[in-house]
Structure 1
């Protein structure tokens, strides 16, 4: 049986960090606390790394070896998608992991942040309501 409790918990923590960053980005650019945002970008990065490591090491290998072809196909699709998103997030983090980089070009920061957070939220939702729900429905 695949236990998703830890993955669900991790999604909750990641969602909290995303919400904190989103809240800052929605402020007038002159009110953005760049140091605080940089801290949460780094925290989010750490949570994502742990989550992806556990998915790559434990969850996805078991899904790829599952007898259910629908699960195998969906797992492969999600793995391929996540590789691209992980690379995009790492580039984003490198661009904005300290306050001075954020303040250097606030407009680009806000645009890039809005884009990457939207992609992360979509991915989390897709896993929660797609793959994870399918695993639960099939009692895997």
Structure 2
């Protein structure tokens, strides 16, 4: 299975996470507009990436003749539900610049939790899920 699109998506999402970190370090209050825009852009990338996984990748892996690949796919798909919901709440709360300016430390805490979980998930997919899919 060709995994190029998924790897490009991951690279773009990781770049967005890095952008959010850089903007936050430079000052949440001063960069609230840019942070807000980066959050929305990241959410858009993730939305399309998840749709591709849900509509193409997971169904293909679920029908694999290799039971371990189907099991990995089911586990990853199930795990993504919680992270997707947490990220959705993060976007809903922090996409408004005024909220970022009102509570920069709350944003920093939430970003550290949600973006770290997202980063770790992408790394795990690159190490485990995508190599299994590429072998099909």
**TM-score class normalised by the smaller sequence:** over 0.9
Q: Is 1:24 equivalent to 2:61 in the alignment?
A: no
Unaligned stretches of 5+ residues in structure 1: none
Distance in 2 between residues matched to 1:89 and 1:29, nearest whole Å = 19
Does structure 2 retain, via aligned residues, the 8 Å contact 1:10–1:51? yes
Distance in 1 between residues matched to 2:45 and 2:28, nearest whole Å = 26
Distance in 1 between residues matched to 2:3 and 2:10, nearest whole Å = 10
Listed as ranges, the matches of 1:1-140 within 5 Å are 2-29=1-28, 32-136=30-134, 139-140=135-136
Does structure 2 retain, via aligned residues, the 8 Å contact 1:25–1:113? no
TM-score after normalising by structure 1: 0.93
Distance in 1 between residues matched to 2:86 and 2:127, nearest whole Å = 23
C-alpha distance 97-75 of structure 1, shift in aligned 2 (>3 A): same
Distance in 1 between residues matched to 2:69 and 2:24, nearest whole Å = 37
Deviation, 1:24, is 1.8
- RMSD, matched Cα: 1.2
Aligned residues between the structures = 136
Distance in 2 between residues matched to 1:96 and 1:52, nearest whole Å = 21
Q: Deviations over 1:45-92 (max 9, x none)?
A: 000000000000000001011111110111011001111101000000
